[in-house]
Structure 1
Amino acid sequence: MAREKFQTLTEQMFYILLALQEERCGADIMALVAQITQNRVTIGPGTLYNLLEDFLSAGMIMQTKVEGRRRSYVLTQQGKDRLLMEKRRLELMLADYRHMTAEPSQELRQGSAG
């Protein structure tokens, strides 16, 4: 059975949507993702523009400006909802990890430190 295209997001997908909470062009998206991940996640132009097309087709982002070859995008409500769903999915996975490894949550560690 084929999985739905955006059932789960790759790191690149996640960070592109995260970057598009504000209007940005492709070059700005790539720079921001590199900056916030300290170069742990990089997105090449081919990957970026393919994903932007996929997100446009899915209604998760919309194009806001075209200035020559420079195009800007921003999240739609559907994109915001999908980003929030992914955040919740990742939090559940982290909670499962903590449960199975008996690792205390960050909140518990901070509370016991004071």
Structure 2
Amino acid sequence: MFVGMAKAMREPTFWILTALAQQARHGYGIMQAAAALSEGRVTLQAGTLYAALDRLHAEGLIEVDHDEKVDGRDRRYYRLTVGGVAALNAEVDRLAQNARTAGRQLAARAPQARPDLGPATA
């Protein structure tokens, strides 16, 4: 069960959980949603996805929502658990804090010459 994310979540895990944030999805649906939501930065392969789903299930972050048969093929749908929602929220907070810290550091940066603009002026 989720008790707190001490370290950064791997990017594929983040996008799998994000793909499940609004609704239950089957494997191919998760792959499509992760690619769309990440704007193509993450493309999950079937082997990687199903290994991750097994791990996330074992960690209590996702659970099976239901199974169905479509055109003679089995589809298993997954959904976030309460722990999965908490883990995703913790990662969103961690990323937001990192972005705020980096933004403050950039804002406090002393003006420097930029090669494209010439010397900085005060």
Question: TM-score by structure 1 length?
Answer: 0.80
Is 1:46 aligned with 2:51? no
Tell me, in whole angstroms, the C-alpha distance in 2 between the residues paired with 1:87 and 1:35.
Answer: 18
Paired position in structure 2 for 1:106: none
- Residues in 1 aligned to 2:7 and 2:48: alpha-carbon distance in whole angstroms: 18
Name which of 79, 96, 102 aligns with 1:74. Answer: 79
CA distance in 2, matches of 1:73, 1:6: 25
- Which structure exhibits the higher relative contact order, with contacts defined as CA atoms closer than 8 Å and separated by 6 or more residues? 2
Distance in 1 separating the partners of 2:58 and 2:24: 18
Identity level (%): 33
| Correspondence 1:12 to 2:12 | yes
Number of aligned positions between the proteins: 100
**1:25, distance to aligned residue in structure 2 (A):** 0.3
Q: Distance in 2 between matches of 1:54 and 1:8?
A: 16
**Cα contact 2:19–2:37 (8 A) shared by 1:** no
TM-score normalised by the chain length of structure 2: 0.75
Displacement of 1:15: 0.7
What is the aligned-residue RMSD (CA, Å)?
A: 1.9
Unpaired stretches in structure 2, ≥5 consecutive residues: 109-122
Rg (Cα) greater in structure? 2
Give the letter aligned to residue 40 of structure 1.
R
